[in-house]
Structure 1
């Protein structure tokens, strides 16, 4: 989706992917597992600015990523080192950013040393030989286990989790109270049947609700980007525990029966009876606006919405809980470009940006941190950045954002809601051909939104056949 997973439709052509994979065969004869001390050409390390290419920082201009880069530079200067780093934010959608990175790394036209990759891109960039293998020590036992699984391909480490993401359920406490619901603090036991009952209570309350309420629930169901893929994977994974569409080698591993069960779950979740009609044309920004404006009582979204929504809604109005069923894991990982001539310094930068204190800074700013210590170590604080919400900070630098925090300064929901959600999250299919998968998967699911949608059995058969054509099979 456009944040975390982003607009990751990945519409690369088969020809381009074949070219990249071929290039990877030449570039892959490299430094040995977990090393990467030399450039692809074996040249010696050279001094110079370390360039990190990334998508947009949702914490805003001069946000937490830029602040961490500035802190790295300050520390290098204090040590007498000439190493400096610079953040380059790539324009456009996530699809466009991915295409820019692929083209730049394959051609060497841009001197990127570190690239910030959506977690679904890691297998593709690794298989194409565009990023280096990294030392295993960079992903230690402090990294959340589910998140650590996004960093590897073929049992080798090619990236380090930077900030994570997971689907969450945001809801209007005040709407539930107005509808006569006594329990307005939802928890992990809120399944889809309970959610549908609560939506029914809101619909029954009707005009008793404050604001322009229209329908109970919304999510990112736009078929023109990754939103429908993410919602589909969450439904499929919830319908069959342990279900996966690809195996560890990226080969198609689904079955018609499993697909049919997943489609039935997705259809139940998106019925017109309780889904905002605009959801089928909505992305993250659209759904966030609809929810904030009071048009719906429940919202599936990413962690950054917690801080954003609290700028207009109070803690008495806004609640957050784990998404019923399985939630998809998103986020971005840092990788060192194969052609970097500053590989050692680039790895040091990656280690700093993904270290314990940096992860605590990311959490405080509204991202989902990747390390357990950020959530559990009360002695760990962020000293490397300005307070979250620095754009509106007071003269003494105190926080003026309205995001509720616990006694240790973390977002109030971090330990009890966000961390468990990350630990229980599922990955989207891991394959170098993720673009082909997502395009095929979304195109078939979009048929459910037509005027004459096929039966689950018919669509499951068609989806199975198309995925077997798009991906290698076992």
Structure 2
């Protein structure tokens, strides 16, 4: 069983019916990983949080200097053929079963017993995981052979020479276009899309039905945040809502990457984009004011659950499951989690109003890996058509078109790999805990697969720049403070954002 180190602090009560992946231990809990040659999850405390954060800051400074001088670092292609376990570093698997990535690793080990792999799961939120990976790769310790990067990190890691170029190694023809775009930087391929993500809107069908509001799935062509606000207002006027109900909707608006995603969605819905495809700053003060107005329109009018300002993915999911809101902005994996927590037919999911942000992770070969050639082969397997179909069935957003449309592509895993028993109990489940599978259509795909695919094809990418770490910190600090102050003086906030974003992106 996987143990995780440096856990985030608990933020409040979580309904007991929710799966264990939402029950977080006390802050500061540490786990020591063991040998992982059989494919089980292991965790290594390679870099402390302060050391990783310092490494991240140093990288930002070195990138700024290099880019101002017109310089960048290019790593060599993956050619190493050393023996030994292929180590994959990744964030936590939050799907309902908590282990599809592990099952894929186990399947690789079943097929390649002489080149086994292990999965190392990094704890903490996305910002902390980025710091951990930067610290590990910059140290040159060769702890990791494959790194699972948030799509926004690819330019930063590529520019710093921390991941190997993969030009000519992978055919991206079957990958969804917008998803495939996240794998490259400056015209070169540095990563391969593993699992994608896109914002979706979950809703309490039982609440809406009682208010006479029709089923929303598939009926939101042109659906806007104004329409959602009107629906919430209609619902709030109804009698007979459960005592647990507090406000119309919730999201992830604490000061971390979740807030940045919500900001990007609000800005894009207003036609505001911060950078061009090369990462150059393109907005101005007036456009930023429009973006802030868009965010205020959806977060104001007493429709938003106040706890959203201190919520991450787990917190908002818990509030929705506890009946405190009728709507929830979240990621695809939430469907399987909610199905294990709520009565059948009580909730559903549809596309998010306006623009939805593209998320997800890409696999890359660590530049210092002595097993680069086999690391690449592992990536090819983990991102292949069959693996992507497995990811889709588990609750992730698959990155390949064939996973959604080709009936000949199926998820076939060997005994042991199929149920995860080869690697022990998934880290995000507890012993004896029930996992309720995602309901599927006649083709065996999740019932919401069509809407998920359409959302991915129109998703809004976050800014692509090697300075993304600095950009997201600027957005988080200014916007969260503005939200806490009840949207006061948006003009001053827009002015500060404009000045600081120009400064952090001036290296382009």
Partners in 2 of 1:246 and 1:309 — Cα distance?
A: 36
Q: 1:56 aligns with which of 72, 92, 101?
A: 92
Q: 1:232 aligns with which of 246, 263, 266?
A: 263
In the alignment, structure 2 segments of 5+ residues that lack a partner are 1-7, 9-20, 22-51, 427-433
| In the alignment, structure 1 residue 455 sits paired with structure 2 residue 506 | no
SS in 2 for 1:425: coil
Q: 1:405 aligns with which of 437, 440, 445?
A: 440
SS in 1 for 2:182: coil
CA displacement 1:59-111 (0-9 Å, x = unmatched): 3787111111111111123xxxx211111112333323222211111111242
* Runs of 4+ with >6 A deviation: 20-27, 388-392
Once the 2 structures are TM-superposed, how far is the Cα of residue 319 of structure 1 from its aligned partner? 1.5
| In the alignment, structure 1 residue 429 sits paired with structure 2 residue 429 | no
Partners in 1 of 2:108 and 2:420 — Cα distance?
A: 21
- How do residues 18-57 of structure 1 correspond to structure 2 at under 5 angstroms? 18-19=61-62, 28=73, 31=76, 36-38=77-79, 45-57=81-93
- How do residues 50-449 of structure 1 correspond to structure 2 at under 5 angstroms? 50-59=86-95, 63-77=99-113, 82-185=114-217, 187-189=219-221, 190-205=223-238, 207-210=239-242, 212-223=244-255, 225-240=256-271, 243-384=272-413, 401-415=436-450, 417-449=451-483
- Name the counterpart of 1:395: none
Contact 2:265 2:355 in 1 (8 A): yes
TM-score computed with the length of structure 2 as normaliser: 0.81
1:187–1:370 CA distance, 2 compared to 1 (3 A): same
Partners in 2 of 1:182 and 1:368 — Cα distance?
A: 26
Once the 2 structures are TM-superposed, how far is the Cα of residue 470 of structure 1 from its aligned partner? 1.7
Q: 2:498 aligns with which of 444, 450, 464?
A: 464
- Name the counterpart of 1:7: none
Indicate the RMSD between aligned Cα atoms, in angstroms: 2.7
Stretch of structure 1 that moved more, 48-57 or 349-358: 48-57
In the alignment, structure 1 segments of 5+ residues that lack a partner are 4-9, 40-44, 393-398
| In the alignment, structure 1 residue 16 sits paired with structure 2 residue 51 | no
Residue-pair matches, total: 443
Partners in 2 of 1:182 and 1:389 — Cα distance?
A: 40
Partners in 2 of 1:402 and 1:389 — Cα distance?
A: 14
Partners in 2 of 1:464 and 1:169 — Cα distance?
A: 30
Partners in 2 of 1:221 and 1:69 — Cα distance?
A: 34
Once the 2 structures are TM-superposed, how far is the Cα of residue 455 of structure 1 from its aligned partner? 3.0
TM-score computed with the length of structure 1 as normaliser: 0.87
Contact 1:173 1:185 in 2 (8 A): no
Partners in 2 of 1:318 and 1:388 — Cα distance?
A: 27
Once the 2 structures are TM-superposed, how far is the Cα of residue 313 of structure 1 from its aligned partner? 2.5
1:365–1:277 CA distance, 2 compared to 1 (3 A): same
- Name the counterpart of 1:42: none
SS in 2 for 1:236: helix
